[in-house]
Structure 1
Amino acid sequence: MSSAHAYAIEVQGNSAGIVVANANHFIFYAADWAFGTLDRKTFRSPAHAERAARDVLLRRTGEPPARPLLS
């Protein structure tokens, strides 16, 4: 039995997308058009993907997120 590793990425209560493990990286799939610039980009970890999603939100709103969900 194989197991897939997928993680939901949320920023400020917004579902940004999911990251799915693939070889030695994670692929981001956007759940909302606001995070479309990240769709299918690769990241070293779910935390890196979350940081990128927070940066996208910061550029859109000008307000930093309250706190990161992953450390």
Structure 2
Amino acid sequence: MISMDAALPPWRRVAMVLERRIADGTYPKGSRLPGAVPLSHEFNVAPSTAAKAVRDLKERGLVTASPGWGTFVA
């Protein structure tokens, strides 16, 4: 469950947590991020919301996606 600023949309709050985990080494460079379904369960959001958070990280160059392989920390 996420409990950050409720004024932010849920996808942005999830993205912020994932970004913090990348920065603190929880997800080190080259590691694979969990998929949208596991993230949705962890954060109690819809899988599409979790996927949007990961897309945001991808657009900002924090992760790269390899179709069929997963999403990895850049």
Shared fold per TM-score greater than 0.5: no
Give the structure, 1 or 2, with the largest relative contact order (CA under 8 Å, sep 6 or more).
Answer: 2
TM-score of the two chains, using structure 2 as the length reference:
0.34
TM-score of the two chains, using structure 1 as the length reference:
0.35
